[in-house]
C-alpha cells in the first residue's frame, strides 16, 4: 500500500533526520545486500531506515535510527511490508553518538541472529581513502525511503509518497569534510539523492559502469525538501572504523 504524508506531518512526526531516494529507479535485484529496518507501528508495518549487509551477520545503519529497543527486524526483500521476510537481530549504536557537527558518531549495526545466506556483503573503504576523491566524483545512493516531494494531491504544501521499495540513483560529490561527504541531489544537474526514510542506507563509490560495492558513507541528513544535498557519514574515518572494528574485519 502506498503511504502519503505531507512534508509538515513528516517533520512533526519524525524526530529523526532520516532520508529517502529521490528521482530514483526501482532497484530490483541490483543491490540485494541493501535492506531495511522494519517496524510495527500503530499505522502499520513499514521500513523506517535503510542499511547494508557488511558481513553475513552484520547490518550497517545509522545511530539515529534507534527506536529505543534493542531487538529489531531487518528485511532484504525488494518491497518491505507486513508480508516481508524479517530477520531478527540486536541493535548496537555507537555509544559516542551525539549531535556534534564535527563528528556525530551517527553509526550503528544490527548483529543478526543467524548468518544471511545467498547475499554477498558490501565492502568498506580503506582508512582515509575518501580524502583522495575529487569534486564531481559519482556515488550511488540506495534505500527504501520516500519519493521526491510533490503537491500533486492539492493545496497544503509538499507531500512525500512512500512506496517502501528499494530504489537507487546517482549523485555527485560536492565537498569533503572530516566526518561528512556532501553530495548533490539537484535534478537540474542530473543528480538524484535521498529523503525521509533512507537514513543508514549506503552510498556506493561510483555510478553506473564505475560503481563498486564499496560503501563510502551512510545517508544521515540533508535539506528539508530533499532537493539539494545528501549528507553522508564517512566510513573511512578513525572514529567510524573504531566502532566498526568491534563487529567486522576492516580493510
For 137-170, what is each residue's pLDDT tens digit?
Answer: 999 999 997 666 566 545 555 666 667 889 999 9
- Among the listed ranges 96-100, 143-147, 155-159, 241-245, which one has the minimum average pLDDT value? 155-159
Residue 13 is inside which H or E element, if any?
helix 7-13
Query: How far is Cα 17 from Cα 35, in angstroms, rounded to an integer?
Result: 19
pLDDT tier for residue 39 given thresholds of 50, 70 and 90: very high
DSSP assignment of 65-94: G--S-SEEEEE--SB-STTS--EEEEEEE-
pLDDT of residue 145: 77
If we measure between CA atoms, which residue out of 217, 201, 228, 168 comes closest to residue 19? 201
Q: Which domains does the chain have, with CATH numbers?
A: 32-121+239-245 (2.40.10.10), 137-236 (2.40.10.10)
Residues 137, 217: Cα–Cα separation, whole Å: 13
What is the pLDDT at residue 82?
87
- Asked if the model's pLDDT at residue 86 lies above 50, the reply is yes
For the residues 64-74, what does the mean pLDDT come to?
Answer: 97
Amino acid at each position: 500500500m502506498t503511504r502519503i504524508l505531507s512534508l509538515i506531518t513528516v517533520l512533526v512526526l519524525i524526530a529523526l533526520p532520516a532520508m529517502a531516494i529521490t528521482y530514483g529507479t526501482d532497484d530490483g535485484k541490483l543491490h540485494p545486500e541493501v535492506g531495511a529496518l522494519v517496524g510495527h507501528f500503530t499505522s502499520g508495518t513499514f521500513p523506517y531506515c535503510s542499511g547494508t549487509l557488511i558481513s553475513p551477520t552484520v547490518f550497517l545503519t545509522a545511530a539515529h535510527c534507534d527506536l529505543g529497543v534493542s531487538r529489531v527486524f531487518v528485511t532484504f526483500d525488494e518491497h518491505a511490508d507486513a508480508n516481508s521476510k524479517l530477520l531478527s537481530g540486536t541493535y548496537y549504536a555507537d555509544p559516542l553518538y551525539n549531535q556534534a557537527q564535527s563528528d556525530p558518531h551517527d553509526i550503528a549495526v544490527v548483529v543478526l541472529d543467524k548468518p544471511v545466506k545467498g547475499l554477498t556483503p558490501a565492502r568498506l573503504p580503506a582508512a582515509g581513502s575518501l580524502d583522495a576523491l575529487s569534486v564531481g566524483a559519482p556515488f550511488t545512493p540506495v534505500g527504501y525511503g520516500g519519493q521526491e516531494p510533490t503537491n500533486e494531491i492539492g493545496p497544503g504544501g509538499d507531500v512525500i509518497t512512500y512506496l517502501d521499495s528499494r530504489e537507487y540513483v546517482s549523485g555527485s560529490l560536492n565537498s569533503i569534510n572530516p566526518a561528512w561527504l556532501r553530495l548533490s541531489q539537484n535534478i537540474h544537474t542530473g543528480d538524484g539523492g535521498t529523503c525521509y526514510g533512507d537514513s543508514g542506507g549506503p552510498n556506493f563509490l561510483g555510478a553506473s559502469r564505475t560503481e563498486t560495492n564499496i560503501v563510502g558513507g551512510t545517508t544521515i541528513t540533508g535539506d528539508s525538501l530533499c532537493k539539494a544535498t545528501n549528507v553522508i557519514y564517512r566510513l573511512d574515518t578513525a572514529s567510524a572504523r573504531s566502532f566498526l572494528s568491534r563487529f567486522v574485519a576492516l580493510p
